[in-house]
């Protein structure tokens, strides 16, 4: 992957929300909606290689994405969140909450604002606009 900065793109209406709530996780047994799709995402760099992966608690499924030697950890985090969203959208779930948990505060903040300067996020605009509750 090349440099991630791109000319700013503005998304004024979104069908998803980003929540960074430390107090929520202090509860040792968080409660999620019974019919929610629950995913955990992570991106990493080790030994000059990068990659990312998702693990589904509901549905029970996992996927990994090798991203070569040039991606930054930030790019891997953004990429995996958007891939997870796209995979769920393509499955055309109806009336489901799609919860994607990430340990990357930087990626979550980058996706939460109306101004997107991440080329990785801009290359997947359909997923960016469709993350969230589907009807």
- Give the span between the Cα atoms of 37 and 95, in whole angstroms: 11
Question: Does residue 116 surpass a pLDDT of 80?
Answer: no
- Tell me the residue length of the chain: 135
pLDDT in tens, 56-110: 988 999 999 999 998 899 889 988 998 898 888 888 888 888 889 998 888 888 8
Between the CA of residue 132 and those of 19, 60, 78, what are the distances in Å? 12, 19, 15
Average pLDDT, rounded, for the chain: 80
- Give the span between the Cα atoms of 105 and 20, in whole angstroms: 8
pLDDT mean over 37-64:
92
Domains of the chain: 5-21+33-130 (3.30.420.10)
Return the pLDDT at 86: 85
Question: Does residue 41 surpass a pLDDT of 60?
Answer: yes
- Give the span between the Cα atoms of 88 and 69, in whole angstroms: 27
Which pTM was predicted?
0.78
């Amino acid at each position: 992957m090349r440099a991630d900065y791109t000319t700013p793109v503005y998304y004024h209406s979104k069908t998803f929300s980003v929540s960074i709530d430390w107090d929520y996780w202090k509860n040792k047994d968080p409660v999620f909606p019974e019919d929610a799709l629950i995913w955990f995402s992570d991106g990493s760099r080790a030994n000059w290689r990068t990659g990312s992966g998702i693990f589904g608690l509901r549905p029970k499924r996992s996927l990994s994405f090798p991203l070569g030697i040039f991606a930054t950890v930030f790019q891997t985090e953004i990429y995996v969140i958007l891939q997870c969203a796209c995979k769920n959208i393509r499955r055309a779930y109806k009336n489901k909450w799609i919860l994607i948990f990430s340990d990357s505060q930087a990626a979550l903040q980058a996706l939460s604002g109306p101004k997107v300067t991440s080329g990785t996020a801009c290359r997947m605009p359909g997923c960016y606009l469709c993350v969230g509750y589907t009807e």
